[in-house]
Amino acid sequence: MDYADKEEFLKEFGEDYGYPNGPKSIDQIRATEFKRLENGTVYLDHAGATLYSELQMEAIFRDFTTNVYGNPHSQSDISLATCDIVRAAREQVLDYFNASMKDYKCIFTSGATAALKLVGEAFPWSHQSSYMYTMENHNSVLGIRDHVYPLAISRYALSQGAAAFAIDVEEAVDNDGLSEGLVTSTKISLHPIQRRKGASFPERDPAGDAYNLFAFPSECNFSGSRFNLDLVNIMKKNPERILEISPFSKGRWMVLIDAAKGCVTQPPDLSKYPVDFVVMSFYKIFGYPTGLGALIMRNDAAKLLKNTYFSGGTVAASIADIDFVKRRQGVEELFEDGSASFLSIASIRHGFNLINSLTVPAICRHIASLGMYVRKVLLSLRHENGADVCTIYATYTSEVSYHDTGSMVSFNLKRPDGSWFGYREVEKLASLSGIQLRTGCFCNPGACAKYLGLSHSDLLSNIEAGHVCWDDNDIIHGKPTGAIRVSFGYMSTFEDAKKFIDFIRNSFVSFPNKSANGNLSRGGSSHFSPEGIRMVMQFVILLYLASDLFRISGMERWLSVSKYVIKFITVYPIKSCAGFSVERWPLCSTGLLHDREWLLKSQTGEILTQKKVPEMCLISTYIDLNQEILVVKSPRCRDELPINLKPDSYNGGIDEIDLYGQRYEVLGYADEVNLWFSKAIGRPCSLLQCFSPKFRVCLNKRGDTVMCRDLESRLNFTNEAQFLLVSEESVSDLNSKLKADTRKGIDGVTVKVNPMRFRPNLVVSGGEPYAEDRWRNLKIGGCNRCQMINFTHKDGQVQKSKEPLATLASYRRLKGKILFGILLRYDITELDTDSYLEVGQEVHVNPE
C-alpha cells in the first residue's frame, strides 16, 4: 500500500491512531498544546527526549506562581507541605508501574543513569557474584560492569571480583503468533566471561549466598524490540532452566529493568513481574522536567544495598570530629543524598495528569500505528533498478502484532549499486528539510554491533581509524558505523510521518536519471567518473587560469571553448569573517596573499567558525598592502582595530594548533587585540596568525605527526583548497530554482542568493550554468558546501535559513556531498614574485 493520502492510512490504523475515544483528538492536541511546531518542524527523536506540552508548562507555571515550596529537610509549615507533595509524587510513580507501596519504594535520582549508578555502587558484589546483561543495552547499563582508570577506586562488579558476561536472548513464535512456553522457546547465547585481573576479592561467601544481577531493557532503544518480561519470573524462581549451560546459575538472582524507553508506552507491571530494580527518566514520558528520574526498588532488595556515602538527609545524627554516624531508616532517606529536587518533583504530577487523560494504552496504540506505517513504507521502497532502498534493524516477525513493535524505526539506506548512504548525510539533509531525527549507535554499542553485523575486529578497526561517538565517520571500509532512527511520541501525527517518508523518497530513491540543468544523480551515476569522484572526496583540484598562473604538470595545450572572465576577487583574511573585494591582488604559495591567514580560537582551544559563532560574519576586514595594516570593524565595537602586519609587531608568542589533520605554527597577539575580538563575537577568544615554518607536518588517522606529502603547495586556514571559484551563471540558475520552488526564506521572503554567499575567492562569468563541473573532470572537484552559507545578516543581527542548501541538496548532491563551485590549487612551480590576479582577466579552461 502506498498510503498516498491520510484516508488510506486511516483505513488500516484509524481505530488506533489519533485517540478516537480520548478527550481530545490528535489534531486538537497539536493545535492547542504544540503550537511551536506550526513552523513546519517535524520532531522524530522522542526516544531521545519527548516534547513537553504547552498546557503542561502553563499548569506548572501557575502552580509555582501560586504556591510556595520549601526545602523538605526543614520543619516549617511550607516545608512540611512540600514533603507531602514529594510523598504524593512517589505514590504517583509507583501507581504508574502498578507497584504496591508495601513492596516497593520510589527513590528520586537525577535520571535513569544516576539510578543505575546507584545500584552498581551499592550492590553486594563478591567474587562469587555474576553480572549478566543482554547485548542490547544502553551504555549506562554496561557501566555497572565497570571500567577502572588508574588509581581509581571502584565499587562496581568487575573490581569487586564478580564475573560479567553479555547474553543474546532469542524467542521463537509459533504459526499462530502465540509464544510457546518461555523456557522451551527462549534461546540464551552467552558471550565471553569477563573477570578483572588483580581485583581485590572480599572474603569468600558461603556457597549459594552470592548475589547476582541480571539487567535488560524493557524496550531496546536501538531497534525498538521489546523483551518478554516473563524473563523476570524465570530468573527469580528457576534460573537454572535459562542458564543450564552456565556455571553462574547458583546464588540469588536479582533483576534490573532499564525502563527509560519502554515505560513510555508499556511500563512494566510490577504486580505481575517482581522486578528488584526499575530505572526511568521523566522527560522520556512527558518532556519536562529534565534532570529527574527514579529508581523503583523492592523493599527486600533495598535491604541488601549499601550506600557508603552519607550526606544531609541520609543521617539521623553524626559527630564531626569522631567516626560516628547514625543513618536514617527509611529507604528513600538512605539513598537520596542531599536535598531532593523538590520543584522538579512537584512538576511531574502535571505531566502524569496529561498522560493519564489520554491513557497509556491509547498512547501505545497511537504511536505504534505511526511506527508500523513508516516501517511498511520504508520496506516497500525500491530504486529504479529494483534494488531495496532501506534495511530495517529489528527482531520482529510477521506474526507479531504491530502494537508490540515499539515506537521507533532504525534503519540505513542503500544506493542502487548496493553501497550505503552515510547516516550523517541523511541527518544533515533531514535537518535542512525541518526534520529532526537521531543517528549513530544511540549509546547502545551491543545492539549496534549486532544489527549492523560488526565484529570485534571491525569495531577495533573503526576505533583505530579515529571513529568515536557523535563524529562524522558514518561509513568505514564500506560498512555503516551506526544507523538512522526515527521515533514517535504521543503528539506525533500522520503528517509528521508522511513528511519524513516524502523526504526519503525525494532525497534517496533513484528515479530515471535527469542530469541536465546541473543535476547530479543520487543513484551514483553521473558525468563524474569513479576516479573523478575520488578526486572530489580528496579535494585535489588543478586548473589553468589566466595563461600560466595555474598549471598542471605535463599539460601543455589548453582549449578555450567559451570566453570566461574573472568578475570578482575576494580576500578573506580571517577565517569565517567577512572578506573584501579587490580589482587586483598578488599571489603567493598559499594562494591569494593573506587569504585565511588568521583565525579565532576560544579559551578552550576550539577553532571558531560561523557555524558555531554566526556573529563572526559581522566582522569586516580590509588590508592596506602599502601600509601593511589589517583593519577590522564590528558593529559591536565602537572603534575599528588596526593590526600591524610587519614581522616585528607580534608579541603574543608562538604556539601550535591542529586543524583539518594538519599541524600549524601560529603567532599570537597582545591582550588588547584579543579583547577587541572577544567583544565583537560576544565570547572570549584570541586571534592567531598562520606562521610559515621551514617544514610542514600533518596528522595521520591515529593523530600521530607525519611529514606531509605535498611540501610545495601550502594551505593557510582554508577547509579544503586554496581557492573557491563559482560562476555567475550557476548562481543565476540556483536563484531561478529558488524562485520556482516557492521555498520561503527569512520573514516569508523568497531567498535570492548573491555569489558572495558562498564565500568564493573568484567569481567568473561566461558559458553555461555548471559548465565548471566538466572542466577536467578527472582533476576537478566540487566544493562540499557547509551550513555557513545558510547564514545571513540583517540590521546587525545574524539569521539562519534552510536555503540555499535545501535547494542545492535537491539537485547538486553526489556521494554525500552538496557540490557548488570548484576548488583550485596554485602551482608553485611557476611562482613569480609579480604574479597577480585581476578582475577582467580571461579564463582558459580544459573541458572534458
Pairing of strands 584-588, 591-592: antiparallel
User: CA gyration radius for the chain?
Assistant: 31
Residue 475's SS3 state is: strand
Q: Which three cell numbers stand for residue 508?
A: 534517496
Is residue 133 within 8 A of residue 303, CB to CB? The reply is no
Active site residues: 443
Residue 775's SS3 state is: strand
CA–CA gap between residue 227 and residue 290 (Å, rounded): 26
DSSP label at 744?
B
Which residues contact residue 65 at a Cβ distance below 8 angstroms, ignoring those fewer than 6 apart? none
DSSP string for 222-270 = TT-PBPPTHHHHHHHH-HHHHSTT-TT--SEEEEEEE-TTGGGT----T
**DSSP run (H or E) holding 588:** strand 584-588
Q: Which three cell numbers stand for residue 607?
A: 577553532
CA–CA gap between residue 426 and residue 500 (Å, rounded): 11
How many beta carbons lie within 10 A of that of residue 456, not counting itself?
A: 9
**DSSP run (H or E) holding 446:** helix 445-452
Phi/psi of residue 297, nearest 5 degrees: -130, 135
According to DSSP, the residues that pair with 188 across neighbouring strands are: 169
- Tell me whether the omega of the peptide bond preceding residue 267 falls within 30 degrees of 0, making it cis: no
CA–CA gap between residue 789 and residue 611 (Å, rounded): 9
Is residue 486 within 8 A of residue 374, CB to CB? The reply is yes
Phi/psi of residue 314, nearest 5 degrees: -100, -5
CA–CA gap between residue 563 and residue 585 (Å, rounded): 22
The angle that helices 342-358 and 54-66 make with each other, rounded to 10 degrees, is 140
Residue 375's SS3 state is: helix
CA–CA gap between residue 524 and residue 534 (Å, rounded): 13
CA–CA gap between residue 146 and residue 142 (Å, rounded): 8
Q: Which three cell numbers stand for residue 74?
A: 526543614
Say which residue the cell 512540600 belongs to.
82
Strands (E), 636-696: 641-644, 654-659, 662-668, 685-691
According to DSSP, the residues that pair with 817 across neighbouring strands are: 814
- Tell me whether the omega of the peptide bond preceding residue 289 falls within 30 degrees of 0, making it cis: yes
Characterize 602-633 residue by residue with b for buried, 16 or more Cβ atoms within 10 angstroms of its Cβ, and e for exposed.
Answer: beeeebbbbeebbbbbbbbbbbeeeeeebbbb
Which residues contact residue 443 at a Cβ distance below 8 angstroms, ignoring those fewer than 6 apart? 138, 139, 140, 221, 469
CA distance between the termini of the chain: 45
